[in-house]
Amino acid sequence: MPADIRIVPCLTDNFGYLVHDPATGATASIDAPEAGPLIAALDKEGWKLTDILVTHHHGDHVGGIAALKAKYQCRVHAPHDANAKIADVDVRLQEGDFVRIGDLTVRVLETPGHTLDHISYVFEDDRALFAADTLFSIGCGRVFEGTYPMMWESLLKLRALPDDFRLYCGHEYTASNVKFALGIEPGNAALQARAKQVETLRAEGKPTIPVTLGEEKQANVFLRADVPSVADAVGLSGSPAADVFGELRERKNNG
């Protein structure tokens, strides 16, 4: 049975997500940016939270865990805490682990760079990728704890997933990302198409998520650091892709 996925806007620009298994009633929250909106969404659907799948330790992803756990006694799954502690964790996850949410199977991918503990969650049967602050639509997370080569490897791991997977990311940053990407690749037709779509969605007050990975591979300049024309555009023809990626990330940081 396909999962029911709900987008729950939280805080200023975070996306909370609920993934519900209709066969068993199990419901997971991907991260817990804020308890209030997630509880309201659960109440509206008549769902009970059974699991929280945490991607990384930042406060805007874990701030709602304690309140949700107190209310629902749900299981909290999270990455290792080698560099930063996440409280109230029941299960520690690493690369290749599988989590069961009712009848749904979730695969864990380690995607470090934004933080060293960052993991992403893949719902294989539902073709859904929850990439939090590693991969945004037309963007990627800032590299706070890792290195540019490390983050580039993480993006390559996500890029290797099939085109029909849908990306659910941690923040609504798409419009700002589109503006930056058009500065690097003004002639990219896929990016131009995405720009139009994003403008329409935002004007209607709708989220720009989900989007297919196939579209992102064509339009997201941060997934295209190994395309020669992108290296040319930042003056790094012939340089390693990780260096081109680092230059793109620096320019976005300073933009």
| Binding residues for Zn ion (CB under 5 A) | 58, 133
Does the annotation list 133 as a binding residue? yes
To Zn ion, the closest distance from the beta carbon of 116 in angstroms equals 12
Pairing of strands 91-93, 75-79: parallel
Any catalytic annotation for residue 114?
Answer: yes
Any catalytic annotation for residue 58?
Answer: yes
Cα–Cα distance measured from residue 112 to residue 115, given in angstroms and rounded to the nearest whole number? 6
Whether the CB-CB separation of 66 and 42 falls below 8 Å is answered with no
**DSSP assignment, residue 171?**
B
Any catalytic annotation for residue 171?
Answer: yes
Any catalytic annotation for residue 80?
Answer: no
Q: Which is nearer to Zn ion, 58 or 249 (CB)?
A: 58
To Zn ion, the closest distance from the beta carbon of 212 in angstroms equals 23
To Zn ion, the closest distance from the beta carbon of 58 in angstroms equals 4
Q: Which is nearer to Zn ion, 64 or 102 (CB)?
A: 64
Does the annotation list 171 as a binding residue? yes
Task: Calculate the alpha carbon distances from 245 to 97, 159, 194, 234 in Å.
Answer: 28, 14, 21, 10
Q: Which is nearer to Zn ion, 59 or 255 (CB)?
A: 59
Which stretch of DSSP H or E encloses residue 131?
strand 128-132
Does the annotation list 80 as a binding residue? no
Task: Kindly name the residue from 20, 57, 58, 118 that is annotated as catalytic.
Answer: 58
Dihedral, CA atoms, 11, 71, 79, 219, nearest 10 degrees? -40
Any catalytic annotation for residue 61?
Answer: yes
Phi and psi angles of residue 99, each rounded to the nearest 5 degrees, phi first: -120, 140
Any catalytic annotation for residue 57?
Answer: no
Whether the CB-CB separation of 155 and 134 falls below 8 Å is answered with yes
Any catalytic annotation for residue 20?
Answer: no
Q: Which is nearer to Zn ion, 133 or 216 (CB)?
A: 133
Tokens 């309201």 belong to: 40
To Zn ion, the closest distance from the beta carbon of 141 in angstroms equals 6
Pairing of strands 104-110, 98-101: antiparallel
Residues flagged as binding site for Zn(2+): 56, 58, 60-61, 114, 133, 171
Tell me the catalytic residues: 56, 58, 60-61, 114, 133, 171
